[in-house]
Amino acid sequence: ALIRREDYRPFPWLVPQVSLAFRLGLEKTRVKSALTVNRNARADHSSTIRLNGDGLTPLEVTVDGEAINSWSLDGGDLMLTLAGDSHLIEIVTEIDPSANSQLMGLYASGGMLCTQCEAEGFRRITFFPDRPDVLSTYKVRMEGPRDAFPVLLSNGNCVARGEADDGTHWADWHDPWPKPSYLFALVAGDLVANRDTFITMSGRKVDLAIWVREGDLERTAHAMDSLKNSMKWDEEAFGREYDLDTFNIVAVSDFNMGAMENKGLNVFNTKYVLADRETATDGDYDAIEGVIGHEYFHNWSGNRVTCRDWFQLSLKEGFTVLRDQLFSADMGSAPVKRIEDVRILRSAQFPEDSGPLAHPIRPDSYREISNFYTATVYNKGAEVIRMMRTLAGPERFREGTDLYFERHDGEAATCEDFVRAIEDGAGLDLKQFRRWYEQAGTPKVSLRLEHQGDTATLHLEQTVPPTPGQPDKQPVPIPLRLALFDRKTGRHDGEQLVTLTETRQSFSFSGFSQPPVLSVNRGFSAPVSIERETAPEDLVFLAANDDDAFARYEAMQDLVVGHLRGLLSGSIGKAERGEGREAIGRAFAAVLADDSLDDLMRGELLILPGESYLAEQMLIADPAAIHAERESLKAWLGSTLEGEFAAVHERASAVESGNSPEAKGARKVKTQALVYLAAGAPERSAAMAAAQYDAADNMTDRQGALMVLTGLAGPERTHKLIDFYNRFRGNALVVDKWFALQSSSLHPQVLEHVKALAEHPDFTLKNPNRVRSLYMPFTGTARGFHAESGEGYRMIADLILALDPINPQTAARFVSPLGRWRRIEPVRAALLRAELERIAAAPGLSRDTHEQVSRSLG
Ligand code: ARG
Ligand code: ZN
């Protein structure tokens, strides 16, 4: 059934208290729940109560102590009739966690028990109003065999524990903070903890623990540092203090997503906890810091203030992503972090916004909410809130968020509540701004700079493209930070903020006797795509002179995008290819030589726009042509600048390894130099890559070298892949890398490789990390996924069909790569459509996959 935002009604009953008693077992867990229910005076009267259930049978139901038989089941939900205004409902259910391959609800992972309840997993554990606006305090009794489950954890504080003589033990957990069911969690298993403490700003001591399997303990130090940094940062940046005596994090290896912010008991994918230099890359370290921060920040933006309904998901996710972005920016290089965030937005969210799955950050309807944990809700959601911060300025924005937390603490709020709090607290008028919540699609801004006399006039025009269900759009306010550079001095007189609110608008700037060079959307102040005709020499100027790091990066990107798009669309003849390349080559040479740049930033400036972003720039894309042109430019750069890249590689190789930004930057440019050399001078680079691999004392260098080798032919490829596997075969996260390297490679036989790897003894459809590592990178390969034969598409469709009965949530994530058919050349478009139709016709498809496939077919 289609669920609509406009149909929201408050639940007729309040459930102030919940008691849960678990008798834990891997194959059989017995759950006894006791719910105190009171009539909700602020909702429509109803004498029945609907308690959601998914795959449950009630073994016993009592109301006020009396067993009743008058219950019924309606599509899995338990329906009870209640005579009065206030009752105690008790229900017993039994579940089999070991059979739960969906990994939603209570499930077994490598001998331990854990839960994932967001969004609608709690109903797989017990009957309950499983919706985020029903807030309750939870008391949990956990009881189970001591040898199998020596550690028993749930939300809040452990208030009692004890032993029985039959080899079982128990623990009682109380969470004093009212919460919705999606924040419930329990974990039972044989785990060890890295323990630490944190003193909050008001002087309270919090016991911290990160729980992992024995043997993984040495790899938790970075996660613990990140946690303490997060707690401190949220006090300073947002005035938010932690509110329980304990904070537990558990790492599990079977997990559908990155991590989960359950109150006081965050559950994490091992990928975002475990790291040491030998097995984790610099990117992994950054991701751990970001995700630990993200989940911790949810304690306020998500838990203390939660969501009224799932249409409001961006209320917590968009805001929390913004918070984790700001945190990571403060912990490391802010400009580099901003560039990375924009790259993610453009490669993941822009395609979503221009495809069949486009939806506003606050969707209007859904069938399966798991399908809306998207780059749009998360990352575009963060950009929308960031724009409010840009409009208000950081101090006034903080007044807005303070007001939001104060006003809505303990409530289930809406996006509208958030916007109103920012309006009132920061003193903004966000009337028109609310359209950012309503409309899908990436706004396009075309601009033209005109110069006359001493005045430069900027003419802006915006269009918000039509998206499914939204043919007509209104203009949105677009805050653009800009600067006008004097060509001679290379300087500007200060940055300005202009806000485009109309469809067409012009802004004049006087005092320019010569036409200035325009730097616009600095810091990516608005999540729009800018269309402008900029002379390559102006882009080269900005790439060299702009004092805004993002704008500098953008100038490099524009230079390359303009060149490749011109060649691909035929507006630049192949004969003129050389001219464009020369300009790009000069800009690259300048970046390689510029001593004022640190290597982390240099690394950003050397990244070519990705194939999906390039495809996004074309009305109809030919993935093979995009790949060929981009690779050819890469090869040209690699051979033209062979000496420069080799010199960078040598210089960077001499930097002592370690955790410093210098060492990290050196590792980044080192592998990048190899990447260009591999394209332009394959022989030389194979030897260099093999040497880098052998010399590596850290995973960043080793993985970088192996990535380059995996794309090349020759014996080193095989040798090093075997070496890597043998070295790390016991470490699941590194074996994931081994799969991912091969499935993302530039090797012409990538498709055959993936096919063979699916038969590897270490491959399993049961583990989401393994499935993603083999197949997600593959969906980005031009030669593999987009093979003209259609075999790549078929492989992903087969995967979806095989995975759907096991883990529908993860299966449905693979539909979107197939959904791009409207924007792809006709031969591939037909092949993609045929695969989507084949999936749609399969019997017994999950709601998750069915919704994504039918939206994709449109
Ligand atoms: N709230 C989690 C986070 O972003 C994600 C959980 C998503 N779970 C799901 N089943 N879709 O931090
Ligand atoms: Zn989140």
Report the predicted TM-score, pTM, of the whole model to 2 decimal places. 0.99
3-state helix, strand, coil in the chain (%, to 5): 45, 20, 30
Cβ of 255 closer than 6 Å to ligand 1, yes or no, is no
Of the candidates 202, 203, 220, the one whose C-alpha atom is nearest the C-alpha of residue 211 is 220
Cα of 181 to ligand 1 centre, how many Å? Answer: 14
Looking at residue 256, the DSSP 8-state letter turns out to be S
pLDDT tens, 326-385? 999 999 999 999 999 999 999 999 999 999 999 999 999 999 999 999 999 999 999 999
State the CB neighbour count (10 A cutoff) for residue 842: 14
Of the candidates 580, 575, 565, the one whose C-alpha atom is nearest the C-alpha of residue 614 is 565
Cβ of 807 closer than 6 Å to ligand 1, yes or no, is no
What residue ranges in 669-780 does DSSP mark as E strands?
none
Q: Whose CA is nearest to atom 5 of ligand 1?
A: 260
Prediction ipTM score: 0.98
Cα of 295 to ligand 1 centre, how many Å? Answer: 10
459: helix, strand or coil: strand
Distance of CA 321 to the CA centre of its chain: 8
Q: Tell me what pLDDT residue 574 has.
A: 86
Residues recognised as catalytic: 295
Cβ of 119 closer than 6 Å to ligand 1, yes or no, is yes
Counting ligand 1 atoms within 8 A of each CB, the residue from 130, 256, 314, 373 with the most, and so the one to mutate, is: 373
Looking at residue 255, the DSSP 8-state letter turns out to be -
Report residue 31 as tokens: 């759950």
Of the candidates 50, 55, 123, the one whose C-alpha atom is nearest the C-alpha of residue 89 is 50
Looking at residue 609, the DSSP 8-state letter turns out to be P
Q: Find where tokens 């809700």 sit.
A: 377
Q: Tell me what pLDDT residue 13 has.
A: 98
Query: Which residues of the chain are under the pLDDT cut of 70?
Result: none
For the beta sheet containing 517-520, the strands, ordered from the edge strand earlier in sequence to the opposite edge, are 496-500, 478-485, 517-520
